[in-house]
Amino acid sequence: MKPETPPRLWPGDIYQSLKKVDVRQVAYVPDAGHTQLIINCQTDADMTAVSLTTEEEGVALLAGAWLGGQRGVLLMQSSGVGNCINMLSVPLHCRMPLLMIVTMRGEWGEFNPWQLPMGQNTERVLRDMGVYIQRADHAEEVGSVTYAAAQLAFSSNCAVAVLLSQRLLGFKDWSK
């Protein structure tokens, strides 16, 4: 008999951190790791969840949100980071805050080799663009890392990416 998987608590911790810093617009391209968080945000009357066709739309959306006085967050998978690179010019040059929460692929126990080129280079290309990185590898630190990243972004007008280790999602054994 398959053992029960304990419920994942960290998506709720992220949601609480987003509430604490008054995030109002939540832009996302879905990822399995963000499923529960997306549902939380969609059902929150004080948040507008915006489903995107591609991640770079979210960078532009949140620039507009900031112009209009609202804070936002962009949720995506590491493969989406590459789609954002030129669009990052807007918040970086304009010194607008940008908070991104990225679930990592292509690292811990990845089964799909097509995920490796972007996953293995996500952190480096973000750093090369001038985005600050805050990494969370353990479930118990996800909430505080997200909160600290949000404070950094919104109080210093800079772009910050929280990278959620693929380890948090657990190892999926595709060999069976």
Partner 1 sequence: MTTETRKGSLDRRHVMATIQAKRGDALMVTGLGSTTYDAGTADHLNTFCLWGGMGAAAMTGLGLALAQPDRRVLVMTGDGEMLMGMGAFATIGAQQPKNLAIAVIDNEHYSETGMQPTHTQRGVCLASVARGCSFAAAETVYSEEELDAVLPTLFGGSGPVLAVIKVNTQRYPMSIRLRDGARLKDRFRENLLGADVAYD
Contact pick of 14, 41, 59, 149 for partner 1 (by CB under 8 A): 59
Does residue 158 bind partner 1 (CB under 8 A)? no
For residue 89, state whether it binds partner 1 (rule: CB under 8 A). Answer: yes
CB 55 within 8 A of CB 74: yes
Q: Does 129 bind partner 1 (CB under 8 A)?
A: no
| Residue 140 vs residues 12, 72, 156, 161, 169: alpha-carbon distances, Å | 11, 23, 26, 18, 13
Please list, in sequence order, all residues whose beta carbon lies within 8 angstroms of the beta carbon of residue 38, skipping any fewer than 6 positions away: 26, 28, 30, 49, 75
Among 19, 24, 135, 167, binds partner 1 (CB under 8 A): 24
Binding status of residue 41 toward partner 1 by CB under 8 A: no
The residue type found at 27 is A
Least distance in Å: CB of 10 to partner 1? 27
| Residue placing its CB nearer to partner 1 in the complex, 10 or 28 | 28
Count CB neighbours of 139 within 10 A: 16
When the beta carbons of 10 and 66 are compared against partner 1, the nearer one is 66
- C-beta of 46: minimal distance to partner 1 in Å? 12
Residue 143 belongs to what H/E stretch? helix 142-156
Give the CA diameter of the chain. Answer: 56
Residue range at the interface with partner 1 (CB under 8 A); choices 30-38, 45-53, 135-143, 158-166: 45-53
Judge contact between 73 and 27, C-beta under 8 A: yes
Which of 8-16, 92-100, 132-140, 168-176 is the region at the interface with partner 1 (rule: CB under 8 A)?
92-100
* SS3 state at 101: strand
Residues that bind partner 1 (CB under 8 A): 24-25, 48, 50-54, 56-70, 72, 86-87, 89-90, 93-96
